[in-house]
Structure 1
């Protein structure tokens, strides 16, 4: 595998190193030893699938809070997505910064999302499927969600979202959430 660290420390784009011949190619999509070399979490406990009927389906921005933070290894298995992560580690020099990576079924490219990052994506084609491994079980009550269009992040999506769940549309803006926390501290 070929690991390329992004501008957000700990987040990697991972490409399959292909051994090709007349049949096609062989490559690894996961290797515990190689992940350890880059100090990436290797404790995958769950594999999730997301099937999306329509181009412009947006899911996100999601993460889990302490003590159930999770890392994710995301790959598009049919169609294509624009995958986005936001660094939500308050002590990080890249706090609230984001990156977006196009993942396609044809490229086999993956995105490693470390703990402390919000994650979301928009489908670029109809009938797009996404598979991801996570290092923590889904834990109700420990979800942390952010608005996909929060000006605090300034994410530039490549297309206009057409399908968003009511839940993802209703998340508070980060500035609203911060104001609420300040008011509750007095």
Structure 2
């Protein structure tokens, strides 16, 4: 397992190293002591899986308000996605900036996203399964997000015509969100 700090402070790429033989593979997906040595020790309380059928589907960009803010550890069990995370920490020098990583069953990469980020992904092929651990219980009352194609954030998605949920079609831009809502500092 190799842990690599990313450009946005607090985000880490995790490269898994499988052991292979004639039977197949074995991979350690999480090691508390290795994570702790990078200061990224969390108490994971929930693990989720989303399955997306069609290439070009975008899920996000989502986040939870306090007290339900989430740290996420994301990986792809099947298929491939472009995983995107946007810094919403008001005090951060990279506030409003985004980064991305391709996660796939082939590259065996994971991404650790701390609290204070909006998160989403776009499927790069049909039939993708994304798994993620979170350190806070999901709360529908604290659920929110920003628009996938916000021109100010300007994420470079691999599609201009994604498949979206009704919820994701109607999320506000970051500017709209900030003008209507003072709770961003509790993300």
Determine the C-alpha separation between the residues in 1 that align with 2:55 and 2:107.
19
Partner in structure 1 of residue 91 of structure 2: 91
- Tell me if structure 2 keeps the 8 A contact 1:122–1:161: no
- What is the Cα-based RMSD across aligned positions, in Å? 1.5
- Within-5 A mapping of 1:46-61: 46-61=46-61
* TM-score when normalising by structure 2: 0.91
Is the CA contact (8 Å cut-off) linking 1:103 and 1:109 kept in structure 2? yes
For structure 2, the residue ranges without an aligned partner over 5 or more in a row are 183-187
Distance 2:86 2:179 in 1: 20
Deviating more after overlay: 55-64 vs 41-50? 41-50
SS of equivalent to 1:50: strand
Instruction: Output one character per residue of 1:84-116: Cα deviation in whole Å (capped at 9) or x when no partner.
Output: 000110011111111111111112111111111
- 4+ aligned runs moved over 4 Å, structure 1: none
SS of the counterpart of 1:154?
A: coil
What residue in structure 2 maps to residue 64 of structure 1? 64
How far off its partner does 1:65 sit?
Answer: 1.2
Secondary structure (helix, strand or coil) at the match of 1:177 reads helix
Question: Do the aligned residues in 2 keep the contact of 1:41 with 1:135 (CA within 8 Å)?
Answer: no
TM-score, length basis structure 1:
0.92
Q: CA deviation at 1:22?
A: 4.1
| Distance apart, 1:69 and its partner CA | 1.1
